[in-house]
A = this chain, B = another copy of it.
Amino acid sequence: MNSKNFTWPVRVYYQHTDAGGVVYHGNYFDFMECARTELLQSLGFDLGHLARRQHLLFMVHSAQIAYHKPARLNDMLAVSARVARVGRARLVFMQTVKRGEETLVSAELTLACVDARTQKAVGVPEAIRRKLEEGT
């Protein structure tokens, strides 16, 4: 599958930075979570409803991340999310964080679809699969 690239703007605030003067490495996971959430939202899926009504979570199962250049306070970033693969119970996302033309961070994340009550893997709901496979 080959979905389109979804991009979400994020500004760097004090809470994202550390004493090195740059964004703390762990916080890019927040930026990427934000872009994935807004991608699903743009397709009509509300993670709050999924969690509370269907007890459905997307949990990060594994990740690879490369930090190329640091982002700094008040930078405007563009955080992308592209679905690279839709498995039975898993989604693979390719994501980047850019500042203008510069790629600051690139990452691949695999998420598992999980029942919040049992923490067991469940199938990706058909409606979500269909929308993602349509090409996002």
The residues of A with any CB-CB pair to B shorter than 8 Å are: 11-15, 17-22, 24-27, 29-30, 33-34, 37-38, 41, 46-49, 51-52, 57, 59-67, 70, 72-75, 114, 116, 119
Given A29-B26, A60-B67, A67-B62, are A116 and B48 also a contact pair (CB < 8 Å)? Answer: no
Contact A17 B15, beta carbon cutoff 8 Å: no
Q: Which residues of B contact A19 (CB under 8 A)?
A: 14, 17-19, 21-22, 51, 72-73
Q: Which residues of B contact A13 (CB under 8 A)?
A: 30, 33-34, 37
16 more contacts with CB within 8 A, not counting A25-B60, A62-B67, are A14-B47, A15-B24, A15-B26, A15-B29, A15-B30, A17-B18, A20-B57, A25-B29, A26-B26, A26-B29, A26-B30, A29-B29, A47-B73, A51-B73, A60-B67, A70-B119
Contact B62 A74, beta carbon cutoff 8 Å: no
Contact A65 B62, beta carbon cutoff 8 Å: yes
Q: How many copies of this chain are found per oligomer? A: 4
